[in-house]
Structure 1
Amino acid sequence: MPLRTSRARRARLSLLTAGTASLALLATACGGSGSGGTAAAPENFDYLSVTENTTVKAALTGMSKGACKAANDALPLKVETVPQASLDQKLQLLAGQDALPVQFAAGNAPALTQELAGSGKVADLEAKLKELGVLDQLQPAAVSTIKALYGGELRVLPYEYNIEGVFYNKKLFADNGVKAPGTWTELVAAAAKLDAKGVQPFSASGQQGWPITRLISGYLYRSLGPDALQKVADGKAKLTDPAYVKAAREIAALGKKGYFGKGVGSIDYDTAMNQFLTGKAAMFYMGSWALANISDGKQNKIGAADTGFLPFPAVEGGKGSVDQYPSNVGLGITLASKSFDKKTGDWVSCIARNYGSTALKDQGAISGFKVNAEVEDANEVTTQVRDTISASKRNVLWFEALFSTKATTVSQQNAAGLVSGSTSPEKFMQTVQDALAAQ
């Protein structure tokens, strides 16, 4: 299975967690402009992506020469890239000029795409896919995730689809008499047993922040149910409520006991990944995008056969279910309303029917499109994750998914302090709640 570059991996993860730039400029530029009157037919299947992510570009380029050659002959693929940090500004500028490309990477948070859609710049993808007869080519779980992110609307296509859970080292577990935990109590007990035998229980990037905050949301979803953070977004609950603070306290306790190892606040994403793949930590909470690393023998020194995957454990007496996996669609990609004509539709139809197989076969990437061709998985854990995705009906989001830009930044910047002990659980949740209230 081909390896994606670490640049691409970091870009994808950053895209999941970064906030948007100010939307004031966009609101001014797009207000009332709609689709800008009569549109000229596009000359190319223009695709604006980010420089750091090469997966979609590579897959579409391959399809333009193969499965989608007819669509490409009629409307040639033309790819432009910008640095991820410049994406929002670029989209705002193009939207203000009524010059969005045919297809483009959505903003760094759902809010930007929602602004574009509100001003009539984004195609009604659900209606378009129905009209083309390919809506059924999207995995139901991916559609559910997109709609949860975008106010009940299908705003982006799922060129990626990831679920999250705990990857674990089967050999370290077996050698130390630890069984795969099914409940939070069992997880904590497993960590204590590993730690007592000199094995670091968890690897995590405190520098990124989000791998830690997603443990908080995992506990919240299991204890309070799948609507736990929607209630916060709707103003029906606060992060400072006792049941919410308890989740932060449980994660802070893991850090207090040293289960994340030394210097977690300075650990970056690649280092955390390496700690797990070289057997220096027994568990690693991460998304299924890590399968590309796990399947690469040069990186994975413990071996794919000894890498297991389990859902975030159940909280005893909780309202959530272990089959509700945190999920995301990675780098969301959408299409402009102005240029969505028949030739664009031919491209979209071809993508819907072929992207899932192409990305899996050539890029080692799991998407939210159905896989319509036989593709041999690299290992058992990849098969397990694919089967889980196919069977998923209701998934949940991540901690900051419904947060404002400010609250997202505050959350991730303070996560390391939570597990290192410099920030109390109460203070952490109060700080993030204050940022939410200020939006």
Structure 2
Amino acid sequence: MTRPMRRKAVLAPLAASAGALALVLTGCGGGGGSTTATSFTYLINSENTMIPGQITALSENQCKAENTALPLKVETVPQTNLDQKLQLLAGQNSLPVMYAAGNAPDLTKTLDGSGNVVDFEQALTDLDALDDIEPAAISTIKALYGGKFNVLPYQYNIEGIWYNKQIFADAGVEIPQTWDELVTAADTISKTGVTPFSASGEQGWPLTRLVGDYLFRDLGADALQKVADGDAKLTDPEYVEAAAAVADLGAKGYFGQGVGSIDYDTAAQQFLTGKAAMFYMGSWILESMNDETANQIGIDNVGFMPFPAVEGGTGSIDEYPANVGLPTTMNAKLYDDKVGDWLGCIAENYGSAALQDQGTISGFKTNTEVTGVAPLTQEIQTTISESTSSVLWFEALFSTKATTTSQTNAAQLVTGAISPEEFMQLVQADLDN
């Protein structure tokens, strides 16, 4: 796709906040206080090779001119050390041009307050490139970052229920549109001797995702924002109802035996070997779905459906739970025309290149024709493209302590070891402290 010449604009740095992270570290190629970058330095966690690999590929092809003007330089740090590294570099005014934004939104918000984060809504508008970003991805980012579009969606995942088409057909089950229909379908499938749902109680979050989704469908997209704002509590009856609905699935045995000791890989294997009819998971599982060795039920036998509506609820079935993985941002203090050229080129080309080269989905639109993509992957890409808004997940706005409490008690919730009221009380207590 050829785009007309874009207007370039220099984005002014955001106002620095008092008490910015005043820590010391020797420079990391970010500029050491300079307002002009000499290279397009990208700092990312060493575990992630996909994104820097794709940016490197762009630098040798679609973004070759931008790379000549401002050469790409990739630097890495272990993810466990990422937050500390970012804080140290910010204190030294040495953050690179582009960097992984940290393991929690709060750090990005702090860096934003000290003028180290680009306002991408403004920058991409100035570059006539805002339309290169999927609206659903922007919705997810704004929900995570206090209404601001300040990270880039190199990774974008939607979540829903993957299902075994053959098991559904054999049981005479249609795709459920409501929660009650989902429970009925699980009951019908259970009577055939197949486990209705595969889930990891050891990780916990695949179960708490269900609680959050029920809340979003029942109370609306702002259900957990109200909890974060102090306008509601998880112990309120309508919130406990969501935990009770998921606990009821466990009480009826729909998660099978030993759910509390099942890890992520085992849960995925149960679905991919036909031992479970449904599997709630994000679109990152597509890699396994498209792996003929791992997926023994066959890719054509896998369907995807949204979390169903709750009858009488105010939420929309079209709002998919979503996340942007470990996001990336840019340094507002080093943003100039050359960096803007890079941003515009990435926005225009990354979505198509990542889908074509790696079969991975991002929050960038696919602006050129992509061939040879697995049908299920293309289906999910189309679903994302047709979505205009999204919701988060149960713990997205929780503190670290509350998140841990939620996930470590999820298995107890579905096995009946604790009641729905007790589960919500435990998590709310951490939110209150």
TM (normalized to structure 2)?
0.90
Aligned partner of 1:343 in structure 2 is 338
Q: For residue 171 of structure 2, what is the amino acid of its counterpart?
A: N
Which residue of 1 is the match for residue 251 of structure 2? 256
1:386 aligns with 2:378: no
Matches within 5 A, 1:39-438: 39-376=34-371, 378-438=373-433
Q: Gapped runs of 5+ residues in structure 1? A: 1-23, 30-34
Deviation string, structure 1 residues 393-425 (Cα, Å, up to 9, x no partner): 221111111112221222112212211222221
The structural deviation recorded for 1:262 is 2.3
**Contact persistence 2:97–2:330 (CA under 8 A):** yes
> For each residue in 1:22-53, what CA deviation from the matched residue of structure 2 results, as whole angstroms up to 9, or x when unmatched?
xx994888xxxxx9996242222111111222
The percent identity for this pair of structures is 62
State the shift of 1:77 in Å.
1.6
Structure 1: distance between partners of 2:33 and 2:192: 70
Q: Distance in 2 between matches of 1:72 and 1:265?
A: 50
Q: Distance in 1 between matches of 2:21 and 2:206?
A: 31
User: In 2, Cα distance between the equivalents of 1:258 and 1:313?
Assistant: 20
Q: Tell me the distance in 1 between the aligned counterparts of 2:21 and 2:165.
A: 49
- Counterparts of 1:21-32 in structure 2 under 5 Å? 26=21
Rounded Cα–Cα distance in structure 1 between residues aligned with 2:354 and 2:257: 37
**Any idea what SS the aligned residue of 2:238 has?**
helix
Find the aligned partners of 2:281 and 2:22 in 1 and give their Cα distance: 35
2:8 is matched with none
1:267 deviates by 2.1
Q: 1:211 to 1:25 in 2, by over 3 A?
A: farther
* Partner residue in 2 for 1:18: none
**Who is 1:9 aligned against?**
none
Q: CA deviation at 1:380?
A: 3.5
Distance in 2 (CA, whole Å) between partners of 1:267 and 1:51 is: 28
Moved over 3 A (4+): 24-29, 35-38, 377-380
CA contact (8 A) 2:23 2:87 kept: no
Q: What is the CA deviation profile of residues 45-71 of structure 1, one whole-angstrom value per residue up to 9, with x for unaligned ones? A: 111111222221121111111111111
Q: Residue 213 and residue 27 in structure 1: after superposition, are their counterparts in 2 closer, same or farther (change >3 A)? A: farther
Q: 1 CA distance for matches of 2:226 and 2:326?
A: 26
8 Å CA contact retained: 1:407, 1:435: yes
Amino acid of the residue matched to residue 131 of structure 1?
Answer: D
Hey, what's the Cα distance between the residues in 2 that align with 1:288 and 1:325?
Answer: 11
Shift of 1:133: 2.0
Shift of 1:177: 2.1
With over 3 angstroms needed to count, the CA separation of the structure-2 counterparts of 1:95 and 1:361, relative to structure 1, is: same
Shift of 1:207: 2.0
Q: Return the alpha-carbon distance in structure 1 between the equivalents of residues 410 and 401 of structure 2.
A: 14
Query: How far apart, in 2, do the equivalents of 1:345 and 1:274 lie?
Result: 44
Distance apart, 1:111 and its partner CA: 0.8
Deviation at 1:217, TM superposition (A): 0.8
Q: Give me the whole-angstrom Cα distance separating, in 2, the residues matched to 1:288 and 1:180.
A: 19
Check the 8 A contact 1:163/1:287 in 2, yes or no.
yes
Which residue matches 1:16?
Answer: none
How far 1:222 moved relative to its partner?
1.0
- Give the Cα–Cα distance (whole angstroms) in 2 for the partners of residues 206 and 130 of structure 1: 44
Letter in 2 for 1:282: A
Q: Is 1:406–1:435's contact at 8 Å kept on the other side of the alignment? A: yes
- Maintained 8 Å contact 2:356/2:373: no
Q: In structure 2, what is the Cα distance between the partners aligned to 1:414 and 1:25?
A: 37
* SS of structure 2 residue aligned to 1:383: helix
**What is the RMSD computed on CA atoms of the aligned residues?**
2.0
TM-score, structure 1 length as denominator?
Answer: 0.89
Equivalent position amino acid for 2:321 in 1? P
Secondary structure of the corresponding residue to residue 393 of structure 1: coil
Contact 2:33 2:93 in 1 (8 A): no
SS in 1 for 2:310: coil
CA distance in 2, matches of 1:203, 1:186: 18
Secondary structure, counterpart of 1:338 in structure 2: helix
Find the aligned partners of 2:60 and 2:32 in 1 and give their Cα distance. 34
Deviations along 1:318-351, one digit per CA (max 9) or x if unpaired, are 1112111111112210011122122211111110
